[in-house]
C-alpha cells in the first residue's frame, strides 16, 4: 500500500448528521456537546472514527452544504472551541474526527460571493464563475442572470443557493468568460481551500470527507484537470499532515484514488452501480436487492463494480462502502431486520474503510415527510436519533415537540438504543459483534485480500478474506447449500447444518468461519 495515514488500515467510521444526533441544551437541535456526550456509546459499539456533516456557518438552504464561512461553526452547534473540544475528547478515546469539506460551491450568503457580485473589481471578482455580461447566457450551463449588480451571470454548482467557485475550465468553449484551470486565479481559489484544510487540521481535525469532489473544473469530461488540483491537495497533506485523510464523494474510485490522490472514495449509488445499490434496488415495486429475502438474485452484479474498483485501486487507496448516508433512503426501507443484519455482515467484513450512518445500527426507519433545509426526499433519512424509549423525544432532546429540528419516530415499536442494548440478537449487538471481530482480526480489516470463491445463481455468496477467513451468505427465504464444510463459526446470523462434507445454510443466514481448503 502507498504511504497512508497509519490509522486508516483499522478505521471504522460512524457518520453523524449533527442536527439530529443529540441535543444537549434543549433547543431542539443536535450540537457538539451532545455528540461529546455520546462518544462513549460510539466507541463501545466499536467505531473508531467519525465523519460530521458540515457544521459551518450557513443559512441551511442545503443542510449546511451551503457554507457561509469556512472558518466558523454554526452557532446552533456551539462554538469553534466546542468543536476543538470534541476533537480532543475523541482523541482521548483513540477516535478520529473528519469534517465535511465543501470545495465546489459556497452559500450565496458567503461574504466572498457578496463581494463577487459587486460591479467594482475586487479580490473576489474571479472567485466564482461569471459570464462577461448579463446577456451572455450560453445554453447548457446552469447560469443565473439578473440577481446582482455585476454585469454577468453566475454559474451554479448544485442548488440555486450554491454558486460555483471558480476552478476554471478544461475545454474552453467561450474564451470571453471561461478561464483555464491552470490560471493563477484558479490557483488562488484552490489555495484558499488548502488554507481551510490547514485551519481545521491545525486545531485537531483528522481529515475531510470531500463533497462533490469531481465537480471542480468545468468541461472536464475525463476529470483530468480536476484530478490535477486534488493531487496538489494530496501533496500538501503528504508534506504537512501525513496522518490526515481525504475521502471523496466522487463515486469512481480509479479516478478519485489513482488519478486524484484521494485516500478513499465512496462506492455510492449515483451511477446506479455497486454493492450498496443492491440493498435497495427497488424498481416498479419489485425488490431486487441482493439482501432482500424474496429476491433470490445472484450476488454477481452486486459485487461486480465493487470488485472491479477494488482491483483497479489496489495498493493505492481504499474503497468505502456505506450502510447509508444523509442523501440515501435508509437501509431498513428495503430490508427486513434480518436483511439489515446480513447487510452489516457484508459491510463490516469487506476490505477498505467502512462507514455506518447514525441510526442504521438500530435499523432506524425512513420517515417520509415534508422537506427540511433542502433535504426533499432525503429528509426522511435525517430524523433524530432514537436513544431511549422511556425519555422525552426518545432521548434526543428535552425541547417541546414543536421545537424539534424534525420530529422523532412516534411509532410504538420505534427502534431504540436502550431496548437494543439489552437484546443480544438486536441489530445493534450484531453490529457491535462484527466491529469487535473486525478489530481483532487483520484479515477482516482494510488491507487483506478479498477472494470471491462461490457465487450461485440462486443467491449464495461466499468470499474469503486473507488466507482463510470466510464469509458466506444465504439472504433468501429458502435453505441453500454451500459447497464447503463449516467447522465452527466465529459469527452467525441465522443458522446452518453440516451436510455430506458441505453445509446447508438456513434462510437469511450469514456465517463467518475459517475455511479449510483441503
**If you search the block for the grid coordinates 444526533, which residue do you land on?**
21
Q: How far is CA 203 from CA 50, 86, 87, in A?
A: 16, 11, 8
CB of 325 to ligand GLC, least distance (A): 7
Interface with ligand GLC, residue 15, by CB under 6 A: no
Among 38, 96, 263, 326, binds ligand GLC (CB under 6 A): 326
Among 88, 183, 327, 398, binds ligand GLC (CB under 6 A): 327
Distance CA 193, CA 70 (A): 9
Interface with ligand GLC, residue 211, by CB under 6 A: yes
CB of 159 to ligand GLC, least distance (A): 7
CB of 379 to ligand GLC, least distance (A): 11
CB of 62 to ligand GLC, least distance (A): 5
Q: Are 63 and 406 in contact (CB under 8 A)?
A: no
**Of 161 and 257, which CB lies nearer to ligand GLC in the complex structure?**
161
Distance CA 138, CA 76 (A): 40
Interface with ligand GLC, residue 62, by CB under 6 A: yes
Instruction: Tell how far CA 248 is from the center of its chain.
Output: 9
Q: Which residue is nearest to ligand GLC, using beta carbons? A: 65
Distance CA 85, CA 96 (A): 13
Distance CA 36, CA 201 (A): 19
Give me the count of residues in the chain: 518
Residues 65-84 that bind ligand GLC (CB under 6 A): 65
**Of 229 and 515, which CB lies nearer to ligand GLC in the complex structure?**
229
Q: In what order do the strands lie in the sheet with 355-357?
A: 318-320, 264-266, 245-248, 207-210, 96-101, 49-52, 13-16, 355-357
CB of 40 to ligand GLC, least distance (A): 28
CB of 105 to ligand GLC, least distance (A): 7
**Of 161 and 297, which CB lies nearer to ligand GLC in the complex structure?**
161
Q: SS3 for 136?
A: coil
Q: SS3 for 259?
A: helix
Interface with ligand GLC, residue 250, by CB under 6 A: no
Counting residues that bind ligand GLC (by CB under 6 A) gives: 9
Question: For residue 174, what is its C-alpha cell?
Answer: 467561450
Q: SS3 for 403?
A: helix
Residues 382-411 that bind ligand GLC (CB under 6 A): none
CB of 158 to ligand GLC, least distance (A): 4
Among 158, 318, 355, 496, binds ligand GLC (CB under 6 A): 158
Interface with ligand GLC, residue 212, by CB under 6 A: yes
Output the CA torsion 421→424→429→432 (10° steps): 110
CB of 376 to ligand GLC, least distance (A): 9
Question: For residue 146, what is its C-alpha cell?
Answer: 439578473
| Residues within the interface to ligand GLC (CB under 6 A) | 62, 65, 102, 158, 211-212, 249, 326-327
Amino acid at each position: 500500500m502507498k504511504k497512508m495515514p497509519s490509522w486508516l488500515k483499522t478505521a471504522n467510521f460512524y457518520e453523524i448528521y449533527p442536527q439530529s444526533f443529540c441535543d444537549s441544551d434543549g433547543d431542539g437541535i443536535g450540537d457538539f456537546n451532545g455528540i461529546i456526550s455520546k462518544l462513549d456509546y460510539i466507541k463501545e459499539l466499536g467505531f473508531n472514527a467519525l465523519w460530521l456533516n458540515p457544521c459551518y456557518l450557513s443559512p441551511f438552504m442545503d443542510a449546511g452544504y451551503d457554507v457561509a464561512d469556512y472558518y466558523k461553526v454554526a452557532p446552533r452547534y456551539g462554538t469553534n472551541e466546542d468543536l476543538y473540544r470534541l476533537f480532543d475528547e475523541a482523541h482521548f478515546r483513540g477516535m478520529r474526527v473528519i469534517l465535511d469539506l465543501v470545495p465546489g460551491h459556497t452559500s450565496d450568503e458567503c461574504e466572498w460571493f457578496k463581494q463577487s457580485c459587486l460591479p467594482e473589481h475586487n479580490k473576489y471578482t474571479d472567485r466564482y464563475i461569471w459570464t462577461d455580461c448579463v446577456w451572455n447566457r450560453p445554453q447548457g450551463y446552469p447560469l443565473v442572470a439578473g440577481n446582482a449588480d455585476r454585469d454577468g451571470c453566475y454559474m451554479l454548482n448544485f442548488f440555486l443557493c450554491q454558486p460555483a467557485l471558480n476552478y476554471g475550465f478544461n475545454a474552453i468553449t467561450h474564451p470571453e468568460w471561461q478561464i483555464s484551470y491552470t490560471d493563477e486565479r484558479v490557483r488562488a481559489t484552490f489555495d484558499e481551500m488548502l488554507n481551510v484544510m490547514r485551519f481545521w487540521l491545525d486545531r485537531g481535525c483528522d481529515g475531510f470527507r470531500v463533497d462533490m469532489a469531481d465537480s471542480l473544473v468545468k468541461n472536464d469530461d475525463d476529470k483530468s484537470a480536476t484530478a490535477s488540483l486534488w493531487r496538489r491537495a494530496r501533496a500538501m497533506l503528504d508534506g504537512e499532515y501525513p496522518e490526515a485523510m481525504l475521502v471523496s464523494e466522487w463515486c469512481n474510485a480509479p479516478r478519485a484514488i489513482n488519478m486524484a490522490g484521494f485516500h478513499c472514495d465512496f462506492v455510492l449509488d449515483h451511477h446506479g452501480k455497486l454493492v450498496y445499490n443492491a440493498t435497495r434496488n427497488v424498481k416498479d415495486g419489485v425488490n431486487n436487492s441482493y439482501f432482500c429475502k424474496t429476491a433470490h438474485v445472484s450476488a454477481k452484479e452486486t459485487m461486480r463494480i465493487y470488485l472491479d474498483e477494488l482491483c483497479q485501486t489496489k495498493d493505492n487507496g481504499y474503497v468505502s462502502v456505506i450502510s447509508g448516508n444523509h442523501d440515501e433512503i435508509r437501509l431498513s426501507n428495503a430490508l427486513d431486520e434480518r436483511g439489515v443484519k446480513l447487510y452489516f455482515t457484508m459491510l463490516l467484513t469487506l476490505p477498505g474503510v467502512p462507514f455506518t450512518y447514525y441510526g442504521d445500527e438500530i435499523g432506524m426507519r425512513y420517515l417520509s415527510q415534508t422537506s427540511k433545509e433542502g433535504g426533499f426526499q432525503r429528509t426522511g433519512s435525517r430524523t433524530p436519533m432514537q436513544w431511549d424509549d422511556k425519555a422525552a423525544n426518545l432521548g434526543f432532546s428535552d425541547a417541546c415537540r414543536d421545537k424539534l429540528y424534525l420530529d422523532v419516530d412516534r411509532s410504538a415499536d420505534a427502534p431504540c438504543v436502550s431496548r437494543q442494548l439489552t437484546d443480544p440478537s438486536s441489530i445493534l449487538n450484531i453490529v457491535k459483534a462484527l466491529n469487535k471481530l473486525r478489530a481483532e482480526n487483520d484479515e477482516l480489516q482494510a488491507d487483506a485480500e478479498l477472494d470471491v470463491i462461490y457465487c450461485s445463481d440462486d443467491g449464495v455468496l461466499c468470499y474469503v478474506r486473507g488466507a482463510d477467513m470466510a464469509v458466506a451468505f444465504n439472504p433468501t427465504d429458502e435453505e441453500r447449500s454451500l459447497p464447503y464444510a463449516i467447522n465452527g463459526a466465529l459469527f452467525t446470523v441465522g443458522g446452518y447444518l453440516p451436510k455430506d462434507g458441505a453445509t446447508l445454510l438456513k434462510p437469511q443466514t450469514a456465517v463467518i468461519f475459517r475455511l479449510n481448503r483441503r
